[in-house]
Structure 1
């Protein structure tokens, strides 16, 4: 493996969130992008980003997986042979227990692992990301405090360090419930004319997640193991 560039970053997956991260991380370290989709690579090239065309060329010290949890196994299988000592892999999936298990199982023990979940997306980040929360779940290695410090100092994020299990348990309520309600209540265009201020505030919250990709909604509402209990509690309360 070639010598690893110090403090360099490769983002794997150039969808909406990958593009958001590239916009902010590019100021912190030399940045490159890899995506198996030629159209995504073309979008990254159009923005002037360094684009890799082969996973074997991923030599950055920090590799960020900006892919849906549904495609994470295939992504890990593709990059695993090319990663080794001195590299850290960070996922940004909306749930944490499943990605943590997959990364531990599929990546070399020489690779440091950090599960993360930025508690914002392209819609909620339009006004900037300073002051927003990001959850970090250290899994393997000792380099994660440097990542946490950079996120705090350079990007102004509020860093919460916890376990994948605790994240999923809390996120089931704080995020999963919002996505469930977004599937139930009518969109703003069909909102009743007679409504309270509290309804308007709730509608604003639901509008922030109304354009999330279907795979994101499925991960949050179906793949979080703590959602089943929350749904049962909600149904019992409605009775």
Structure 2
């Protein structure tokens, strides 16, 4: 793997820095972070001048981040994002990055909570633009980080995530907002449901909104879910 620049040191950026730094020549930039144990913090220009650049920023900030790094990217640079949706971020990257920049959308299907015991066996989806070969990145992710790598196009990814992620986060958010008291005894199904809710309870509202509002396929499924819930409520009444 060539040298890598990481832009963004929020919750996921820090997780990425921790696991990437033992394997890569890695530097990072975040205007809000001056120092980090696992990686050298450098200027935006220095981080963006590397042949591989990872954007670990919220979906809403990807266009702005691309505009900021564009003047510093070397010719033919490979730029990756780690957003939970892919169609909109990849369109923004193509719109704001220089011609010739190679774009590889990625979606790590884990976060700081679900990866608390390590990355081994966790899944990640790679969505390369046409003409971009993800083989080198995929091999690194499999061999060095022990991730389960899936290759997809952006639309298939977002259609899949509408049910896999947007729906499950919606249900989990509702359960969390109910603020149920601790139960003296439970069932296995309740325990699994509570575990799913607890996994996303610490996610920011910004991430939840990105999953629900920036996936073009999530809205329809959300409407179907609430229609089904209302129909069930009517049956019970």
- Is 1:36 the counterpart of 2:31? The answer is yes
Q: Tell me, which stretches of 5 or more residues in structure 2 are unaligned?
A: 232-237
How many Å apart are 1:204 and its aligned residue? 0.2
Residue of structure 1 equivalent to 2:189: 198
1:103 counterpart residue number = 93
Match of 2:16 in 1: 21
What is the aligned partner in structure 2 of residue 114 from structure 1?
A: 104
Shift of 1:109: 1.9
Q: Is the contact between residue 162 and residue 215 of structure 2 (CA under 8 Å) also seen in structure 1?
A: yes
Query: C-alpha deviations, 1:164-222, integer Å up to 9, x for none?
Result: 11111111111111211122114676255564210111110110011001111100012
Aligned match of 1:209: 200
Specify whether residues 84 and 223 from structure 1 end up closer, same or farther in structure 2 by C-alpha distance, changes over 3 A only: same
Runs of 4+ in 1 over 3 A off after TM superposition: 140-143, 186-189, 191-195
Spell out, residue by residue over 1:102-147, the C-alpha distance to the aligned partner (whole angstroms, 9 max, x if none): 0111111211110000000000001111111000000155442101
Match of 1:3 in 2: none
Q: How does 1:1-239 map to 2 (within 5 A)?
A: 7-37=2-32, 40-42=33-35, 44=36, 47=37, 49-55=39-45, 58-139=48-129, 141-186=131-176, 190-193=181-184, 195-238=186-229, 239=231
The answer to whether the Cα contact below 8 Å between 1:84 and 1:108 also exists between their aligned partners in 2 is no
Asked if structure 1 preserves the Cα contact closer than 8 Å seen for 2:51 and 2:73, the reply is no
Q: Does structure 1 retain, via aligned residues, the 8 Å contact 2:123–2:148?
A: yes
Distance change (3 Å), C-alpha of 1:230 and 1:193: farther
* 2:128 alignment partner, SS class: strand
Aligned residues of 2:28 and 2:47 also touching (Cα < 8 A):
no
The whole-number CA distance in structure 2 between the counterparts of 1:48 and 1:193 is 42
> What CA distance in whole angstroms lies between the structure 1 residues aligned with 2:224 and 2:186?
26
| Deviation of 1:53 (Å) | 2.0
Residue 7 of structure 1, CA deviation: 0.6
**Distance in 2 between the 1:33 and 1:189 partners?**
40
Query: 5+ residue gaps in structure 1?
Result: 1-5
What is the alpha-carbon root mean square deviation over aligned residues?
Answer: 1.8
Alpha-carbon distance between aligned partners in 2 of 1:21 and 1:162, rounded to the nearest angstrom: 21
SS at match of 2:191: helix
Distance 1:229 1:210 in 2: 24
